[in-house]
Amino acid sequence: MSSRSVRPRAAGIAAVAVLATAIAGCSAPESSTQAAEDLPTDQEELIAAAQEEGEVSIGAGGHTREQVELLAASFEEEYGIDVTFVRASGGDIAQQVSAQLSAEALQFDVVSLNDEATLSTWSEEGVLADPELENRDEILDPLATPDDAAHVPFTWAAMGYSYNEASTDPASLPTTWSELADQPGVFAVANPNSSGAALTFVAAMDQIEPGFLSALGEAETLISDSALALTQLVATGEADFGIPGIEADVATAANAGEPLAMGYPEGDIGVLTSFIAPLADSPHPAAARLLTQYQLSEEFQNIQAGIGSRAVLTGADVPEGAEELGEDRLVVIQADELSAQKDELLAKFSEAMGV
Amino acid sequence: MESLAPWLWVAATFFLVVVPVGSLLWKSLELPESGSRGLDNYAEVLTQGSVLEAIFNSFWIGTATTIGALLIAVPFAFLVSRTDMPGRRFFRSVAVLTFAAPSFIAAMGWILLLGPRGGLLNEYVLVPLGLPAFDIFGAKGIILVLTLFLYPLVFLPVTDALDNMDSRLEEAAESAGATRWHTLRAVTLPLMLPPIFSGSLLVFISAFVIFGPVALLGGPVGFQTIPTAMLELMTFPPRIEYAAVLGLPVLFALGVLLYLQRKLYGKRAYTTVGGKPGQKRTVELGVWRWVAWFFGFVVLLFSIVLPFGVLLLTSFRKAVGLPLTWDNLVLFDNYRALVERPAILESFWNSLWIALVATVASIVVAVLAVWLLERSRTRLRPAIQPFMLAPLAFPGAILGIAMVIAYSGSPYWLGGTLTIMLLAYLIRVVPQSFTYVHAGFKQVNAETEEAARVLGASWSESMRRVTIPLLRGPILSIGVLNFVLLFRELDVSIFLFTGTNNVAPVILYNLASESQFQLMGALSVVMLVINLGVVLVARRLLGVRVAH
């Protein structure tokens, strides 16, 4: 090989190496050397360790924006620890966490989802860390997760239907699920293929009123792949009813000025539970545990009632104006039950809706 | 410097294509249940009935959208470049603004306009005229929206080609007795083939992989294309090992298109740009001028005025759920609410500089790649086009996953930074930068460069003083197009956003997901105004041809 051809090739290799070094020159993010299992058991020491870490990040797929903003502001005020968050759909957050795990570079310290099946799997695989909650036994029985599960519920919402108050007379609202399915008009229905909340609703309705989906299939329906589209369809009048109406989403739309409201049929009602857990390889494990504990503290559970979020602790405040729903009316679908029935439920939905 | 060029391209391609796409492909072979690797994920996904139907849907939606885009773009390009149509400069300037908002916002705008029950056009125009209401939900709505959204991808390069084409070729044909129609068919259209094909390829692939409009307009009636069907499969529970599978049908389609391209005009010459300025003949339309103007007006009305008009109207509403009456309108409340959010200013600044840097960098990579392909004898030539176009195969969300896997961990540690966002933006626009610059390059006469080299100019001098000035039109047009596209880039951004690297489109998405449709409308209008400003400044200061 002549020196003429070697020189440019060597220079080229050097250029690639310089570029690689430049990109790789970004140093690894500073992270705590403490593993989640080695965190102090003493609360004062945990707070000190969390404050030393100084920041915590949450991938909020189970929170509404209002809920996670309130959590961040209250936590910062209480402990002086910065909270950054990403609020996106549960599916997006779960994919982001999966990609970060695959890269072995977690950006989030804490994750929240409505999708308990994914969290259960992660809990079994050791992806999540035990939040070491002292008040775990105060969680409402129907919502509680097994003691060995790392994820815990932090709020719940009833799943009724949504409607536009400006175009629907409240006096004419249906009071039972079968009346709802018989209503004239268009129904926007969430697709259980693309959201855990919608699948939970289909599972709950399979227990509450097994013929509801078939009856709904007779009506004019629009299938929605996201809460965003569901809300827009009802708000703009393209649909008369949004199914399911989820309290937290409807409250968000109402707070934004949209005339959306919830309708609750009589009898049993499905529950959408939101879960939170610290991530085991979190860059800020102490702050992650502290944030999860704070979310479940009696103090914050009462604070979140102020924005209409239901508490999961027995005896906590009920949000002002919220429908009174006794525990006997709540239908909670457990993760293993949902996983086992998933294919059957999706097939039922497809058959009923003709999609 | 000349001998370094292949290596620079290899380095750029390694980081922009090989690392992210390779990481994704490697991940796709992972079998979580057995802990081994294999092709099971491909078999599992690609044999699903819903996916096969979605692949068929993607093909015909892509084809119909491409035909629609060609029907608008080619005559429109001819009218603005070659005729005395009134307002042609204005039409050319603003065409690119169809891209000024993310595609899902455009789709939401069209639901507000043509929703079968509450759409403003249906309610206030079609129904009062006794016409049936248009139903935007379903395949025909998707094709309408995508055609109006994507046609500039053909319009821009074809306009450039027409601008660069020396009319003497057409005059020669006419002096030899050809009719005007025959000249158009035998001389003008064949010379426009490379940009028409390049633009069509981008429209077809974009329609093939676009997510937002299909999810919003097709989802409600159960109509799915590849990205909606496959993203459903990998979302719940998360199966990111399926992500690369999503790109396979698109890679196949790309391969077929590139083969067709090579068959169609691989060995023919399309040189029309030399060192001497060409002459452009203007066709005088006479009374047809105003018919042409009306055509341009209708294109502008449906592609920009109506979708952004409805967002402008939304920005003055108290809520979209309230009836459209004076009582439910506000003046500046929604715009004031935007200014009161400090994160918005920061995100605008971030979007601005990232879009600018990625735009410039993508052009550098594209020019380098095209030069190697068209002028050098490097053995890398057969690999250049496939590698430059490969990122097209992956929808934004999938590219986001690839970037996180490839760059957020060791040894790069770019997770949560603006740098990873910048790299992703760069990857996003490399294929179209390459396509446009390539189409332009095919018109440039190599002899001019060779003459410069014979006269003693170095490679970099001949590139700087001859090649790049001759490519000025396509480079500046793709520059402005890239900036507009990146300033509102959402699909990748939403995936790379970790709370600390805010960009404007993420704020827009958050407003929509919080049902703050009025603020979403206001922010969309602000983004349109910024993009309009960039287009006008580029036109005035840089002399970008008015099409762009």
Closest chain A CA to residue B317: A257
Structurally, how many domains does chain B consist of? 1
Residue B232 with chain A: CB contacts under 8 Å: 191, 193-194, 225
CATH number for position B13: 1.10.3720.10
Q: Would an 8 Å CB–CB cutoff place B1 in contact with chain A?
A: no
Q: Would an 8 Å CB–CB cutoff place A101 in contact with chain B?
A: no
Q: From B92, B70, B93, B71, select the one nearest B83 (Cα to Cα).
A: B92
Does any domain span residue B374?
A: yes
Q: Would an 8 Å CB–CB cutoff place A54 in contact with chain B?
A: no
Nearest-CB residue to B4 (from A15, A226, A227): A15
Does any domain span residue B372?
A: yes
User: Under an 8 A CB cutoff, do A260 and B321 touch?
Assistant: yes
CA A264 to chain centre: 22
> Half-sphere exposure of B341 toward its Cβ, with a 13 Å CA cutoff?
17
Q: Would an 8 Å CB–CB cutoff place B451 in contact with chain A?
A: no
Q: Quick one: average pLDDT of A291-300?
A: 96
Q: Would an 8 Å CB–CB cutoff place A259 in contact with chain B?
A: yes
A303 DSSP β-pair partners: none
**DSSP letter assigned to residue A111:** E
Closest chain A CA to residue B122: A238
Give dist(CA B153, CA B155) in Å, integer: 6
Nearest-CB residue to B499 (from A84, A232, A354): A84
Give dist(CA B158, CA B161) in Å, integer: 5
- Whether a cis peptide bond, with omega within 30° of 0, leads into B195 is no
Q: Would an 8 Å CB–CB cutoff place B63 in contact with chain A?
A: no
Which among B51, B234, B333, B514 is the top mutation candidate for probing chain A, defined by the most A β-carbons within 10 Å of its own β-carbon?
A: B514
User: Under an 8 A CB cutoff, do B222 and A223 touch?
Assistant: yes
Does any domain span residue B276?
A: no
Nearest-CB residue to B15 (from A23, A107, A258): A23
Burial of B130 per CB tally in 10 Å (0-12, 13-18, 19+): exposed
Supply the Cα-derived Rg of chain A in whole angstroms. 24
Give dist(CA B464, CA B509) in Å, integer: 41
Residue B430's pLDDT is 94
Does the structure show a pLDDT above 80 at A149?
A: yes
Give dist(CA A58, CA A83) in Å, integer: 8
Enumerate residues 119 to 148 of chain A having a beta carbon within 8 A of any beta carbon in chain B.
121
Residues B414/B43, Cβ–Cβ less than 8 Å: no
User: Under an 8 A CB cutoff, do A258 and B111 touch?
Assistant: no
Contacts of B219 (CB under 8 A, 6+ apart): A191, A223, A224, A225, A229, B228
Residue A323's pLDDT is 79
Give dist(CA A342, CA B231) in Å, integer: 17
State the DSSP H helix or E strand holding residue A57, giving kind and residue range, or none if neither.
strand A55-60
State pLDDT tens for residues A203-213: 999 999 988 99
Give dist(CA B440, CA B240) in Å, integer: 38
Q: Would an 8 Å CB–CB cutoff place A354 in contact with chain B?
A: yes
Which among A64, A95, A222 is the top mutation candidate for probing chain B, defined by the most B β-carbons within 10 Å of its own β-carbon?
A: A95
User: Under an 8 A CB cutoff, do B412 and A233 touch?
Assistant: no
Residue B236 with chain A: CB contacts under 8 Å: 90-91, 94, 115, 118, 193-196, 199
pLDDT confidence tier of residue A21, bands split at 50, 70 and 90: low
User: Under an 8 A CB cutoff, do B414 and A258 touch?
Assistant: no
Nearest-CB residue to B494 (from A64, A88, A99): A88
User: Under an 8 A CB cutoff, do B498 and A84 touch?
Assistant: yes
Enumerate residues 488 to 527 of chain B having a beta carbon within 8 A of any beta carbon in chain A.
494-495, 497-500, 510, 512-518
B317 DSSP β-pair partners: B329
**B382 to chain A, closest Cα gap in Å:** 20
User: Strand locations in B133-204, DSSP E?
Assistant: none
Q: Would an 8 Å CB–CB cutoff place A247 in contact with chain B?
A: no
Q: Give the three-state DSSP class for A29.
A: coil
Supply the Cα-derived Rg of chain B in whole angstroms. 24
User: Under an 8 A CB cutoff, do A235 and B517 touch?
Assistant: yes
Number of cross-chain residue pairs from A and B with Cβ atoms under 8 Å apart: 222
Does the structure show a pLDDT above 90 at A108?
A: yes
Does any domain span residue B476?
A: yes
**Domains located in chain A, CATH noted:** 36-155+272-326 (3.40.190.10), 156-271+328-353 (3.40.190.10)
Does the structure show a pLDDT above 80 at A235?
A: yes
Does any domain span residue B274?
A: no
Give dist(CA B317, CA B331) in Å, integer: 8
Does any domain span residue B211?
A: yes
Burial of B190 per CB tally in 10 Å (0-12, 13-18, 19+): middle
Residues A141/A89, Cβ–Cβ less than 8 Å: no
Q: What percent of chain A has pLDDT over 90?
A: 44
User: Under an 8 A CB cutoff, do B514 and A222 touch?
Assistant: no
A246 DSSP β-pair partners: A159
Q: Which residues of chain B have pLDDT under 70?
A: 1, 265-280, 541-548
Q: From A196, A202, A158, A197, select the one nearest A309 (Cα to Cα).
A: A158
Nearest-CB residue to B4 (from A12, A23, A103): A12
Cβ burial B202-241 (10 Å sphere, 16+ → b, else e) = bbbbbbbbbbbbbbbbbbbbbbbbbbbbbbbbbbbbbbbb
Nearest-CB residue to B516 (from A249, A256, A260): A256
pLDDT confidence tier of residue A1, bands split at 50, 70 and 90: very low
Give dist(CA B255, CA B260) in Å, integer: 9
Place of tokens 């197009």: B481
Enumerate residues 316 to 335 of chain B having a beta carbon within 8 A of any beta carbon in chain A.
318-323
Q: Give the three-state DSSP class for B246.
A: helix
Give dist(CA A240, CA A16) in Å, integer: 59
Q: What is the phi/psi pair of residue A36, to 5°?
A: -55, -35
For helices B418-441 and B193-209, the axis angle rounded to 10 degrees is 150
Does the structure show a pLDDT above 50 at A6?
A: no
Of the spans A38-42, A193-197, A275-279, B482-486, which averages the highest pLDDT?
A275-279
* Tokens representing residue B336 in the block: 């004031």
Does any domain span residue B545?
A: no
Closest chain B CA to residue A188: B220
Give dist(CA B359, CA B486) in Å, integer: 8
Residue B318 with chain A: CB contacts under 8 Å: 257
A273 DSSP β-pair partners: A156
Residues A313/A138, Cβ–Cβ less than 8 Å: yes
B319 DSSP β-pair partners: none
Q: Would an 8 Å CB–CB cutoff place A172 in contact with chain B?
A: no
First vs last C-alpha separation in chain A: 65
Cβ burial B255-270 (10 Å sphere, 16+ → b, else e) = eebeeebeeeeeeeeb
Instruction: Check: pTM over 0.90? Answer yes or no.
Output: no
Does any domain span residue B325?
A: no
Q: Letter for the amino acid at B536?
A: L
Closest chain A CA to residue B422: A23
- Whether a cis peptide bond, with omega within 30° of 0, leads into B213 is no
User: Under an 8 A CB cutoff, do A103 and B137 touch?
Assistant: no
Residue B321 with chain A: CB contacts under 8 Å: 164, 166-167, 234-237, 253, 258-260
Domain of B242, in residue numbers: 5-18+46-264+291-319+335-540
Closest chain B CA to residue A28: B413
User: Under an 8 A CB cutoff, do A252 and B117 touch?
Assistant: no
ipTM above 0.85, yes or no: no
Closest chain B CA to residue A192: B236
Residue A85 with chain B: CB contacts under 8 Å: 499
Residue B546's pLDDT is 38
Enumerate residues 123 to 152 of chain B having a beta carbon within 8 A of any beta carbon in chain A.
137
Residues A261/A250, Cβ–Cβ less than 8 Å: yes
Closest chain B CA to residue A335: B237
Q: From A291, A297, A296, A299, select the one nearest A36 (Cα to Cα).
A: A291
Which among A81, A201, A258 is the top mutation candidate for probing chain B, defined by the most B β-carbons within 10 Å of its own β-carbon?
A: A258
Which among B24, B28, B114, B235 is the top mutation candidate for probing chain A, defined by the most A β-carbons within 10 Å of its own β-carbon?
A: B235
pLDDT confidence tier of residue A4, bands split at 50, 70 and 90: very low
Closest chain A CA to residue B213: A229
